[in-house]
Amino acid sequence: MIEVVGVGASGLESLGPDERRLVDEAGVVVGGERHLAMLEPTEGRRLVPWPSPLLPGLRGLLDDLLDGRDAAGGRVVVLASGDPLVSGIGATLVRELGPDRVRLHPAVSSVALARTRMGWSAEESDVVTLVGRDVDRLRRDLAPRARLVVLTSGEDGPSRIAALLVEEGYAGSRLTVLGDLGSVAESRTDGVAASWDGRPTPRLHLVCVECDAHPRPGARSLVPGLPETAYEHDGQLTKRLVRAAALAHLSPQPGDVMWDLGAGAGSVGIEFARQHPRNEVHAVERHPERAARVRRNARALGVPGLHVVEASSEYAVAALPRPDAVFVGGGATAGLLDRCWAALAPGGRLVVHGVTVETELLLHDARRRLGGSMTRIAVEDLDEIGSLHGWRPARAIVQWTVEKPVPEDSEGDA
**Can you list the domains of the chain with their CATH numbers?**
2-108 (3.40.1010.10), 111-210 (3.30.950.10), 228-410 (3.40.50.150)
pLDDT given at position 199: 78
Nearest-angstrom CA–CA distance, 8 and 180: 9
pLDDT given at position 13: 87
End-to-end alpha carbon distance in the chain: 25
Reported as type and span, the H/E element at residue 134 is none
Question: What single-letter DSSP state applies at residue 169?
Answer: T
Nearest-angstrom CA–CA distance, 382 and 388: 10
Q: What are the residues whose beta carbons fall under 8 Å from the beta carbon of 187, sequence distance 6 or more?
A: 177, 178, 179, 180, 202
Residue 108 · residue 149 · CB < 8 Å: no
pLDDT given at position 411: 54
For residue 226, give Cα distances in angstroms to 208, 251, 266, 267, 414. Answer: 27, 16, 12, 9, 36
pLDDT given at position 200: 79
Can you give the pLDDT of all 414 residues of the chain as single tens digits?
899 999 988 888 888 999 999 999 898 999 999 899 999 888 888 899 998 888 888 888 888 877 755 444 578 999 998 999 988 899 999 999 999 999 999 999 999 999 999 999 999 999 999 988 899 999 999 999 999 999 998 888 999 999 999 999 999 999 999 999 988 899 999 999 999 987 778 888 999 999 999 998 778 899 999 999 999 999 888 999 999 999 999 999 999 999 999 999 999 999 999 999 999 999 999 999 999 999 999 999 999 999 999 999 999 999 999 999 999 998 899 999 999 999 999 999 999 999 999 999 999 999 999 999 999 999 999 999 999 999 999 899 999 999 999 988 755 554
CA torsion sign for 167, 170, 171, 176 is negative
pLDDT given at position 310: 96
Strands 28-31 and 46-49: parallel
